[in-house]
Structure 1
Amino acid sequence: MVVALVVVAAGGCQWPRDADGTADRVRDGTIRVGVANNPPWTVVDGGGAGREPGGVEVELVRRLADSLGARVQWVPGGEAELMAALSERGLDLVVAGLDAESPWEQDVALTTDYLTTDEAVAVPAGEPVDTGTHLAGLDHVMAVPPGENAWQSTVERFLLELDEDEVRRLLDTHRAGT
């Protein structure tokens, strides 16, 4: 009886839901994306007004926007100010080369990781990472406003569908500066 009541009650609900309707607003609209400089993940050129950022995550956000029929409004800034704006819902997404051990996880929602990279030292330029001393693996994530569960699910679904080899090629390209 209780199970049937829960099923009937949940039948009329859209799950997951956003507190502020971000997923519905950005579809065919605008995604407000905070971007902090952290090459090769995100590259913000402070030299020219109106210049588009670059980097691996910037390319991924462009692809996400394309999949939603949306355009991107880039908001460059420092990581701390962008996370404050995200937690207050002034932004829809922050990309800054974040990893799952981000100190911001108490203030914002972090996506599931989309790529794990190795951190190493003593690696000559152009050599594979496995020739150096392995420090740790970093699980790369993006940040969304807290409570925007449908939006977070949309972003995570996009990230989980990425081809890891393609993301690694993007990373190699941006590391090489091309």
Structure 2
Amino acid sequence: MIRVWLCLVVVLLAGCSPYPRDTHDSSARARDAMRVGVSHDPPFVVVELGRPPHGSEIARIEAFADARGLRIEWVVDGHERLMQALVEHRLHIVAGGHGVDSPWTDVSWSRPFHVRDARDHIAERRLALPPGENAWQLDVDRHLHATRRERE
């Protein structure tokens, strides 16, 4: 009887894997290059010809990448195309144009964070993340939570 229980435990443990995990390996792929889609949405995301993107959401993404030693590859495009690329797991994050009332339901969302807008009002924002990438989302959310006070 002990052998049966021991075999059962071994079989069950063999089926275990680390959780949370990414269904499309976003966390692992980000080590090569974290692909971030951006669309012009001042003052949160500012896209200007000949300059890297900048703004409050860009600063958050750069801080996240710096803390993890990730290189960012910026992808500038229209919002609809960026969101479709995110759904297809070709991007890690999409920034710009995401208030809490965004109509996109087939992507994941970061935890909300607060930033100041051009009139010095507090705006609630969030980042779009690829669906089903639970470890990646947890990592992004933990960073936003850990840095919430210093950026608000």
When normalised by structure 2's length, the TM-score is 0.82
Instruction: Specify the SS of the correspondent of 2:143.
Output: helix
Query: 2:134 — aligned with what?
Result: 149
Query: 2:59 — aligned with what?
Result: 59
> What RMSD, in angstroms, separates the aligned Cα atoms of the two structures?
2.7
Instruction: Specify the SS of the correspondent of 1:160.
Output: helix
- AA paired with 2:43? P
- AA paired with 1:107? D
1:107 paired with 2:106, answer yes
- Which whole-Å deviations, capped at 9, do the CAs of 1:28-56 have from their partners, x for residues lacking one? x31000001101110001x33xx201101
**Change beyond 3 A, Cα 1:66–1:11:** farther
Shift of 1:87: 0.4
Unaligned 5+ residue runs, structure 2? 1-8
- AA paired with 1:75? V
Quick one: percent identity of the two aligned structures? 38
Query: 2:151 — aligned with what?
Result: 167
> How many Å separate the matches in 1 of 2:114 and 2:13?
38
- AA paired with 1:81? R
Query: 2:22 — aligned with what?
Result: 18
> How many Å separate the matches in 2 of 1:158 and 1:11?
30
- AA paired with 1:86? L
**Change beyond 3 A, Cα 1:116–1:64:** closer
> How many Å separate the matches in 1 of 2:97 and 2:56?
9
Give the count of matched residue pairs.
Answer: 144
| Equivalence map 1:31-110=2 (5 Å) | 31-45=34-48, 47-48=49-50, 51-104=51-104, 106-110=105-109
> How many Å separate the matches in 1 of 2:137 and 2:47?
24
Unaligned 5+ residue runs, structure 1? 120-124, 130-136, 169-178
